[in-house]
Structure 1
Amino acid sequence: MRSIKTKLFSLGMAASMLLALGGCAMSTPANVGSIGGVEIPAGVYLLAQYNSYNTASGLADLATGETANDVKTVLKAQCTGTINGEEVTTDGADYISQLTTHAIEYYAAVEKEFDELGGVLDDAATAEAANSADSLWNSNGDLYTANGISKSTVKTYLLNAQKAKAILNLTYGADGTSPVTEAEYTDYVNNDCYYVETVQFPLVNYSSYSLATDDQKSQIEDIAAQCLAELNEQATAETASNSALYTAAMNYVPQAMSAMGSTIESAQAVYYAGSKLYTPDDLSSFGGDGYNNLTDPLDEIPLGTWTTIDLGTTLLVARRIDPLKTYTVDQLNSMYDMLTSMKSDEIQDKLYADGAALEHNLDSSAINTYSASKIKKTVSK
C-alpha cells in the first residue's frame, strides 16, 4: 500500500496537470511568431487561413454530393492551383498551409516596406478600410467570429491592403523612389492599351431578359449600319468625337430599342455612347487563345475608322483612336489611374518575393493550435 505522502503527491501532480490543461484551454497564442521582425497576430493568421480555405475549396476535386462547406473533405481532397506563379497539386490541407504562409509573408513585407518608406495612410484610405470592414462584418460577422476573427482584425487586414497601394505610389508615383516617366506612360498607352469610342446597341431585351430574335437582330444591324455611315462622315477627326458620338446615340439607339420592343428617350440614349482607355486587364475579358473579340476587329481597319463589332449581347459601332491627340499623359493618368494598371502586378510580385525572403520565426506550436481542421463554414443561429 502506498503511503499517504505518495498519494498526496500523486493528487498534487494530477491537480497541476488539470490546471495546466485548463490554462491551455482558456488561452490561445496572441500571435504565430514573426516574419522579418513583423509580428503576425493570430487573427491575421486565421483570416489568411480562412481566405486560403475558400480558395482551396474552389479548386478541390470533390465527389458528387461533397461540398466546399465540408471542411474535412476539402482538407483531404486533391487541389490544383497556382501559388507564387507555380502550379501546385497537393491535398487541401497542404495547399491551404502553403497559401496561408504566402499570404502572411506578403502581409509582413507590406508592413515592413511601408514603415521603411515612411508611409502614412491618409484619411481617405483609412476611411475606405473602415467602411469595407463594416460591410464585410455586416455580411459575414457571425462566420468570422466563429473562426476566431474579430472585426478589428478584418480592418487590420484591409489597412494592410491600403498600405500596399501606398507602396505603389511611394515607389512608382511622381514623388516615388522610381517614378514612372512620361515616356513609359506614352509607350504603355500606345502599345498596351486601346482607346475606343463606341455606340452600344443592346441585343437583349432587359424587360423580358430575352435575346433578340433573328429578325430583330437584322433590324438592329441595319440601324447600326446607318449609325456607322453617319459617324464615318461626321466623326473622322483624329481627336475624340464626343459631340458626334452622342448625337448618333440619340438618333439611333432609340430606334434599335424600338426594334426590341422597348422604348428609351433620346436624352437617356447618350448613356449608350462613350469612350474608354482599355488596359490589358480590361481587354483580357474580351477573349484569349489567339483571338480577342474587341481588339481583333479594330486591328483589321485603319486607326480612326469606324466599324461594327458583334459581342453577342451587344452590337458596337466603334473605332480606335490615339488618346494622346486629345489628352495629355497627366490627364489620362488622372482619368484612368494608369499607374495601378501598369505597375500593380509588378509591385505585388515584388512584395511576395520580399516576404518569402524575410527571416521566418514562426511558432509551429501556435500554428498547430490554429489548425485548418477547426475552420467553420456554417454558423448555427
Structure 2
Amino acid sequence: MSFKHKLAAGLAALGVLASLSGCTLGKSFDYAAKVGEVEISSGLYLYYQYASYLDAAEQSQKNPKEVKTVLKEQIGEQSATDYIKDQTKARCISYAAMENLFDKEGLEVTEEDEAQIEANVNQNWDSQKKVLEKNGIGKDTYRTLVRSALKSSKLFDHYYGADGLTPVGDDELKAYFESQYLHISFLALPKLNSESNAIPSDGIATINDLSEQMLAKLKDGATMKEVADEFMPQVLEVGGHSFAEGTDFVQQDFINKDTENYSTYPMNMINQIKADGVGDYNRYEAAQYTFVYQRQSALANESDFTSARTSLLVEMKEGEFSEKSKAAEEGLEIVYNEAAVKEFSPKKIKYVAS
C-alpha cells in the first residue's frame, strides 16, 4: 500500500496535529519511559498524553477547552486523569510493539525511506512547529512519528502486499468490493433554491413530476447522460439555479453496506438501493434532493477498482493487521521515568482549538 496513505492513517491514530497545543514544561528529560528496550522520548509521551486527553474529552462529552472540567469527569469506572494515564501507557506500548515487530520481521528503513521521511518533515514541520513546540514536542519527535507511520506501512506491505507473506490478489479484492459496496450512478435534483431556501410546494411537485419522467425515460432505454441533458436544465430552473454549458450532471458514488450513519443519504434510501437489483433504475425523495439513480455493479468500471485498490486492501485487512500488532504487545511492560511523568501531569494541558 502507499506510504502516503498509511502515513495519514498512522498520524491520525497518533492524534490530531492541527488541534494540538500546550503543556507548560518546567524541565526537560532525556526520556519519559521505557518499554523493554524501546525508549519513549518526552516528546512522544507528551504527544500520546494529549491524544489521550482528546479521547477523554470526547468520551465525557465535555468541551476540550475546559481542561479542569474534563479532568474531573468519570469515564466508566475511572477518573478522567486515570483514563488519560492508561491510554497514554497503551499508546506507548503500541509504539514499542510496532518497533519490535518491524525488527522481528527483518525489515529496514532504507535511504529512500529516510528521504521520504525527511521530505515529509520539511514539507509539514513549519505548519506544525508553533503548536507542537508549545507542547514540548520538537522536530525530532515529529520525525519519529513520521518514521513510525512509515514502518507501519512497510509492515502492512510485508504481510499483505503483492510480494508479502500472505498477498491479497485482485480476484479476492474484487469479490470484497462487489460484496461490500453499493455503486450508484445518479442525478441529484435540488429541492432548495439558489439561496438555499426551500422551494415552494408547487415547485417541488414540478421537480417530482420531472423525476418521474426521467425515470420512465431511463427504463425505456435512454442513458443517464441523455436524461440529464434533457431534464436537468428544467429542474434547476425551478429553483433559480445557474449552471455552465456542458455541465455533466451525472454523479457516481460507492456506499459501504456496513456504514450505519450516512451524511449524504437517508438510511431508507440506502435500504431501497440494497433491495434494488444491479442494473435497476429507481428514484427517492429525500429532504433536500430527489434522487434518480441506477444501481450498478461495483466492478462496472475497472478504473474504479484500480483507484480504490489500496483503500480496499487496508479496509479488508486492517482488523487482522491490528490483531498482529496487538499480539506483539503481549508481555510488554512500561517503566516510567517518574520525575518526567510527574512533570508532565495532565493538569498542565492547555487546549487551543485549531
The Cα of 1:201 is off from its aligned counterpart by: 2.0
The question of 1:250 aligning with 2:229 is answered yes
- Label 1:169 to 1:226 Cα distance change in 2 as closer, same or farther (>3 A): farther
Contact 2:101–2:328 (8 Å) recurs in 1: no
Please list every run of 5 or more consecutive structure 1 residues that lacks an aligned counterpart in the other structure: 1-24, 80-87, 236-243
Q: In angstroms, what is the RMSD of aligned CA positions?
A: 3.0
Q: Which residue does 2:42 correspond to in 1?
A: 42
Alpha-carbon deviations, 1:275-316, whole Å to 9, x = none?
A: 2333356x44428xxx93343111333221111123432322
Contact 1:129–1:159 (8 Å) recurs in 2: no
- Normalised by the length of structure 1, the TM-score is 0.73
- Secondary structure at the aligned position of 1:267 is classed as coil
The Cα of 1:101 is off from its aligned counterpart by: 1.8
Alpha-carbon deviations, 1:18-68, whole Å to 9, x = none?
A: xxxxxxx97532222222432211101101111111221222265xxxx43
Between the aligned partners of 2:125 and 2:322, the Cα distance in structure 1 is 22
- Label 1:108 to 1:214 Cα distance change in 2 as closer, same or farther (>3 A): farther
Q: Which residue does 2:314 correspond to in 1?
A: 340
The question of 1:304 aligning with 2:304 is answered no
The Cα of 1:164 is off from its aligned counterpart by: 2.3
Contact 1:130–1:155 (8 Å) recurs in 2: no
The question of 1:260 aligning with 2:207 is answered no
**Where has structure 1 moved over 6 Å in runs of 4 or more?**
none
Between the aligned partners of 2:176 and 2:166, the Cα distance in structure 1 is 17
Q: Which residue does 2:4 correspond to in 1?
A: none
Q: Which residue does 1:223 correspond to in 2?
A: 210
Between the aligned partners of 1:134 and 1:234, the Cα distance in structure 2 is 56
- Secondary structure at the aligned position of 2:329 is classed as helix
The question of 1:69 aligning with 2:65 is answered yes
- Label 1:186 to 1:165 Cα distance change in 2 as closer, same or farther (>3 A): same
- Normalised by the length of structure 2, the TM-score is 0.78
Q: Which amino acid aligns with 2:330?
A: A
Q: Which residue does 1:367 correspond to in 2?
A: 341
**Alignment counterpart, residue 154 of structure 2, candidates 153, 159, 166:** 166
Contact 1:279–1:341 (8 Å) recurs in 2: no
Contact 2:117–2:146 (8 Å) recurs in 1: no
Between the aligned partners of 1:94 and 1:26, the Cα distance in structure 2 is 22
Q: How many residues align?
A: 321
The Cα of 1:196 is off from its aligned counterpart by: 1.8
The Cα of 1:326 is off from its aligned counterpart by: 4.4
Alpha-carbon deviations, 1:246-278, whole Å to 9, x = none?
A: 33333322222211111113422x1x3232333
Contact 1:249–1:273 (8 Å) recurs in 2: yes
The question of 1:32 aligning with 2:48 is answered no
Between the aligned partners of 1:130 and 1:221, the Cα distance in structure 2 is 53
Please list every run of 5 or more consecutive structure 2 residues that lacks an aligned counterpart in the other structure: 1-24
- Secondary structure at the aligned position of 1:31 is classed as coil
- Label 1:249 to 1:89 Cα distance change in 2 as closer, same or farther (>3 A): farther
Between the aligned partners of 2:118 and 2:225, the Cα distance in structure 1 is 39
Between the aligned partners of 2:96 and 2:349, the Cα distance in structure 1 is 23
The Cα of 1:223 is off from its aligned counterpart by: 2.0
Q: Tell which has more relative contact order, 1 or 2 (C-alpha 8 A, sep 6+).
A: 2
Contact 2:160–2:167 (8 Å) recurs in 1: yes
